[in-house]
Structure 1
Amino acid sequence: MQEKFSRILIGNVLKSIRVEKNIPMKKIASALKVSESTVSQIETGKNLATKEKINEICHVCGCSFDYKTDRKKMVDLVLYIYAQYTNLSTDEMNSAIEEVKNNSFISCSYARFEYYLILYMDGIINQNNEDVQLFKRILEIGKSSFSNKELSIYYDIKALEKMYLNDSIKALECLNQSRLYDNEFLMNHYHYCSIYLNLGYYILAQKYIRKSIEIAIKEVSFERLCYLLLNQGVLYLNTEQYVEA
């Protein structure tokens, strides 16, 4: 099972590099002196690429593969950055993001998709002028290698992107996908309550505010709790419950 996962992961990494560099499969096949079908089997994980093949493919793509990056540490970093975003710990979050951005060699490693998930988070959360469409194209190729928590984070950030675009329907679709993988992330429920509060669906908003407050207290996320209490106050005002507000 682990070997199959490794084949799929490295295949996805190599495919996403080729796609990003806009290099046709035919060119890779010609350089390796193999058929396009063989290259396709490597990219889909049907065949395991040897270290020699990995190096050759990356050479054609104008990069070199980094075997030293610890993917598990990068997965942990994704979770850490998301946790800092949840807790409104902006300085800590951005410090970790900058550390990743200053080590671009990670983009050509087993942790390639964690690297781009962090860039995507940065682009949306911080509203930077980043090529988020490129990040999403790369992540769509590699999301099959993500853990459930990473998938939940990915779809929650996609929901946030749609919220910024005032596309509530798409945002809710992304949140529903996020919940399929992890239903205990505070920000997922927080985003639900924000959307429903904005749309005037106060019963639904109340449901998610309560769930969010429950998680925030459990996680001792007091900064985010303050915003949740403000949302509760707005809901009471909009439903003419002035004493409660």
Structure 2
Amino acid sequence: MLAPQPAAAQGRLEAQYEATLAGISVGRGTWAIEIGDDSYSAAAQGGTTGLLKSISNGAGTGASQGRVVGGALVPQAYQASTTTSKKSESVHITLANGNVKEFGIEPVPPVDPDRIVVTDAHKKGVLDPMSSTLVRVPGTGDLLTPEACNASAAVFDGRLRYELKLDFKRMETVKAEKGYYGPAVVCALYFTPIAGYIPDRPVIKYLSAARGIEVALVPIAGTRYLVPFRTVIPTPLGTAVLEATHFVTQPIAPHIAKTQ
């Protein structure tokens, strides 16, 4: 009974992604995730490349940290920043037990009377944007099954409160230039705005009506979590794709508490 028990989720991912629009490279980024027995962290950074960089030079970072409770991620803090040739913006969110305790955007955005107000109720039972991209598969069976797409998430990003829902589409094989080569479960992804948005904004209308968005999910080794290997979003300018070029994942040795 006193023998150490293996943790339910312990693994690490180091990945690099390329973003393309209509087949043209427009950005690159990195993503690092570590899930331990009682805590997790995720950090990403990226920027524009190629022709898009010559038009609008942009860069961004994001990070999320939290606890692992009963195998589930419970975020505690989220930070993100974006910088373009025209402006810079930073967002921070502090959470406790799934509820937003404090958040802010710098510089403070102007008040728009058409924006749907985010209430206190909208800030309860939510995930931050980065934590929401990690899909937990409960149980002990195979990770990559159609049932993995039976997932949804309530998300607050500091401005918008929205819902994400997955639905199974197909199974396929994916291959990175370095690292992962194997099966992926492909899910349709649906976006539903709840609050914090301006209803007449074209991008909100487009994403709400979109039925061609999909995400290919693969495992973080040693865990019960899947993460996006590829995301596809049809747009009026062509298909936007964010796909891993490097995807190196490995389990982490279980942490064993000292008894003496």
| Same fold per superposition (TM over 0.5) | no
Which structure is richer in relative contact order (CA contacts within 8 A, separation 6 or more)?
Answer: 2
- Normalising by structure 1, report the TM-score: 0.26
Normalized per residue, the structure richer in strand is: 2
Greater percentage in helix? 1
Give the greater-gyration-radius structure (CA). Answer: 1
Q: Provide TM-score, normalisation by structure 2.
A: 0.25
